Structure formats: structure tokens, C-alpha cells
Amino acid sequence: MREEGWILPRFRSCMLRPVRGVLSLRDERVDDLMRNARIARLVDPDTGVALTAPPALFDATLTRATADEWTLAGFERIEHMGRVVDYAQTWLISPVDLLR
């Protein structure tokens, strides 16, 4: 729902293609941050491998939950011109059945 930390206008965010996967949320050691962080990732349901898009969400916090959707907020770490940049990010998650 954000691009480089900026909130996308509704007309742009509704044009984004949804990504399907299994939500993984766990605490992990992040050496660059010199601490543990709660990291959210989407995982391929068939292989169990983390998807590269969207990037992992660091310090993931559930900010809203309804029967139809959840909102997670945190930051993503993007390599930009040879350095890692942290950008605010928000995920809007809609539970679906993953049919194989």
C-alpha cells in the first residue's frame, strides 16, 4: 500500500496485482539492525520458499483485523544504489483458500 514509504493514492493501489501465498510471521535475528525483529513474509504454498515480491516486512505489527482483512505495518529493506534503504510499508491481507 506504499511505494518508497509514501502512501499510494487509492487509484494506484487498487491497480496493484494481489500476490497469493502463505503468511509467515516470526522473530528473527537481523545482524544489520543488531537485534531481533518480527518479520512477515509470503511463502509459496507448494515449495515453502519465501517469495521475493513483496519484500519481507520488518517489525511487522498487526494494526487492524476484521473478518475479511488484516493490515500489517512495518518497514521493508530495499537495496538502492549500493546501500540498503528502509521504507515504511503496509500490507493489506485478505485470507483466501489456496487451491492446488
Q: Quote the cell numbers at residue 93.
A: 491481507
Predicted local confidence at residue 11, as pLDDT: 66
Tell me the per-residue pLDDT of 41-82, one tens digit each, with 9 for 90 and over. 999 988 999 999 999 999 999 999 999 999 999 999 998 889
Q: Rounded to 5 degrees, what are φ and ψ at 85?
A: -120, 135
Closest CA to 58 of 30, 83, 80: 30
Residue 63's contacts (CB-CB under 8 Å, 6 or more residues apart) are: 71, 72, 73, 90
Identify whether 99 is part of a domain: no
Q: How many domains does the chain have?
A: 1
Give the residue-averaged pLDDT of 6-11.
74
Identify whether 100 is part of a domain: no
Residue-range definition of the domain harbouring residue 35? 2-93
Identify whether 44 is part of a domain: yes
Identify whether 52 is part of a domain: yes
Comparing 13 with 60, which gets the higher pLDDT? Answer: 60
Comparing 6 with 88, which gets the higher pLDDT? Answer: 88
Tell me the per-residue pLDDT of 17-44, one tens digit each, with 9 for 90 and over. 888 899 999 999 999 999 999 999 999 9
Identify whether 98 is part of a domain: no
